[in-house]
Chain A
Amino acid sequence: MATSTDPEDRNLSQRIDAWLDEDMSPRRAIGVYLVLGLYFAFLLLPVVYMVLASFTSQSFLFSPELVPALGDLTLANYETVLSRGDFRTYFYNSMIVATSTTLLVLTVGILAGYSMSRFDYPGRGGLLYAFLSTQMLPIVLILIPFYILMFSLNLVDSLLGIVIAHSVIGIPLGTWLLKGYIDDIPESLDEAAKMDGCSHLSVLRRVIVPLAMPGIAVAGFYTFILSWNDYLLVSVLSQTAGTRTLPFGLQLFQSQNAVAWNLLITAAVITMAPVILLFAVAQRWVVEGLASGGMKGN
């Protein structure tokens, strides 16, 4: 690479070399960018196009034009969607349900994860296995007995019922992730705290929770998006507009015969925005954590 004699040229190649990693030739870098470009065209173009289209006028949206002119851009769709009181209710419901679900799953998950990591009792291994095997159940199989149960507990058409339904979906994986992180905390730290007179609960609060924070972030994020994104359970449990969350509430903009596409895609952008923002904030832990979570059992 550095054999070039032309000073201008050497300068450039040195700059590229400094910019690239030592094992990386410029030709290889171009190939990598090409592959990544193809992947991200496939994965992201549809999303980007929908977001762009949500900022265009109805007349552009329904025209056979691909690219909007500057004059086609407008905030009108957002004004219409956000001015609807029922849509705002769905948004608040989603926030309340996803936040409460996350708190509930983290609370019982940290307790269960701590128990499974630190205590030895008959049935411990089988219990974790039983937790995880619920992930394999087809939800459609349990939907009806589940509905009848929730009905008899008076939890149909209430946000609390939805929170409980989402929590039991999130608890198994949440507990498993948290147990893995707690396993990594040296037990000598709990022992030291206990020597200082801490009870189990204060060991949890002062030692385990602070040190397991990255794991709590991962489990919390996973639970939040699971709850935020759920359609099926809400569609069964919610019977009136007062308990709808966003994914189920999107039907507001489509009827049997007609779909208000401009409003529907705008509402869809608003529905995915919070989880994508949350991901952007948490991705530092989440990307590593979800990935390493899969390897914990190794």
Chain B
Amino acid sequence: MATQTESQYSRYKEEFSSFLTDTWIGYAFVIPATVLLAVVIGYPTLRGLYLAFFEVSLLNPEQMEFVGLQHFRALAADPIFKAALWHTVLLTALAVSFQYLLGLGLALALKEKVPGAGIFRSLSMVTWVMPIIVMVIIFRFMVQNGFGPVNIILDSLGMRTTYWFGEPGVAFPLIVVMHVWRNVPFYAISLLAAMNSIPKEQYEAARLDGAGPLERFRYVTLPQISYVSMIMIVLHVTFTFKNFDIVYLSTGGGPLGNTEVLATYVYKQAFEQYALGYGASIGVVMLILMLTFTIVYVKLEEVD
């Protein structure tokens, strides 16, 4: 009797200590990544959020004056901020819509079993792989006045030529085109993978029920790619919304502030106007908008 409880006790002890060591080893393995992220991303983020409530200059970052919500009140009256917010929302909405529709189209075309489809599939990712600065150089080169291929063609058609990134009304659509150009292949490849994982029998069953190609797409394909679609859309809404270098490197926010977005406005406030606190408050607004979007979208998708 006594020996039995003793052995039971020692078994519990063994399990408990193995639970403890396993837990500690688990922590030990995850610590390097966690510490790196906490120090290099976590700390600056908290610091950035904190700065939004202070008046502080890049020239003398030690001297801080608490101003409460004053920056946020100033934002509400800042016409450049309001324009940048509108451009950011419009850019995100247009870019992601076109990316999704064109990506879906490309996925459907790549799904067809024509000879050579594999080559097309591999080639498609080139625009997504290259550095953003190279993409911007390509587009700026294309629309150079006098020798850019787009203008050479326009000229031969007897149309107006100019450096199109410098043209109000054209610069903004060009930024949308760059976002679409870069990311359509990634949508296509991801949606294609989702489509290929749909069992063939479901299409056969729908066909037997008399569903045409459009109905099969609507009732078999669409519902089964909705999860990947959600991932793609959330990923690219946040990417487009916070993206800095596509606008900064191509137009710098010009011409005449026509393409100014929130990210470039934060950068200019902080690094050109030295207004760290004001810049940080714009960053806080960006973060709040993105979090709200993500939470609402994911919740809506769950309800479906």
Interface residues of A (CB under 8 A from B): 19-21, 23-24, 28-29, 32-33, 35-36, 39-40, 42-44, 46-47, 49-50, 53, 61-66, 107-109, 111-112, 114-116, 118-121, 124, 127, 130-131, 134-146, 148-149, 164-165, 167-168, 171-172, 175, 200, 225, 228-229, 231-232, 246-247, 250, 261, 264-265, 268, 271-272, 275-276, 279-280, 283, 286-288, 290-292, 294-295, 297-298
Q: A20-B114, A136-B294, A279-B125 are in contact. Are A149 and B245 (CB under 8 A)?
A: no
**A120 proximity list for chain B (CB < 8 A):** 22-23, 26
> For the side of the interface on B, what is the size category?
35 or more
Nearest A residue to B291 via CB reads: A136
- What are some 15 contacts across the A-B interface (CB < 8 A)? A43-B124, A44-B126, A65-B152, A109-B33, A112-B32, A138-B242, A141-B280, A141-B286, A145-B44, A146-B40, A268-B134, A268-B137, A272-B134, A295-B197, A295-B227
Q: In the complex, what distance in Å separates the CA atom of A288 from the CA atom of B122?
A: 10
Q: In the complex, what distance in Å separates the CA atom of A219 from the CA atom of B131?
A: 18
The reply to whether the CB of B222 lies closer than 8 angstroms to some CB of chain A is no
Q: A120-B26, A140-B267, A287-B125 are in contact. Are A228 and B36 (CB under 8 A)?
A: no
- For the A-B complex with A24-B114, A136-B291 known, give 6 more contacts whose Cβ atoms are closer than 8 Å: A127-B34, A144-B280, A200-B29, A229-B131, A247-B132, A297-B231
Are A149 and B23 in contact (CB-based, < 8 A)? no
Q: In the complex, what distance in Å separates the CA atom of A292 from the CA atom of B190?
A: 7
Interface centre among A19, A46, A297 (most CB of B within 10 A): A46
Are B45 and A142 in contact (CB-based, < 8 A)? yes
Q: In the complex, what distance in Å separates the CA atom of A127 from the CA atom of B190?
A: 26
| Of the residues A35, A49, A138, A228, contact of B105 by C-beta under 8 Å | A35
Are B270 and A268 in contact (CB-based, < 8 A)? no
Q: In the complex, what distance in Å separates the CA atom of A116 from the CA atom of B146?
A: 57
Question: Top 5 closest A-B pairs, CB basis?
Answer: A119-B26, A141-B283, A291-B193, A115-B29, A145-B47
| Of the residues B23, B27, B155, B228, contact of A294 by C-beta under 8 Å | B228
Nearest Cβ distance between residue A180 and chain B, in whole angstroms? 13
Q: In the complex, what distance in Å separates the CA atom of A23 from the CA atom of B216?
A: 16
Nearest Cβ distance between residue B136 and chain A, in whole angstroms? 9
Nearest B residue to A261 via CB reads: B141
Q: In the complex, what distance in Å separates the CA atom of A61 from the CA atom of B149?
A: 10
The reply to whether the CB of B77 lies closer than 8 angstroms to some CB of chain A is no
Q: In the complex, what distance in Å separates the CA atom of A280 from the CA atom of B129?
A: 10
Nearest Cβ distance between residue B158 and chain A, in whole angstroms? 14
Are A290 and B189 in contact (CB-based, < 8 A)? yes
Q: In the complex, what distance in Å separates the CA atom of A108 from the CA atom of B35?
A: 10
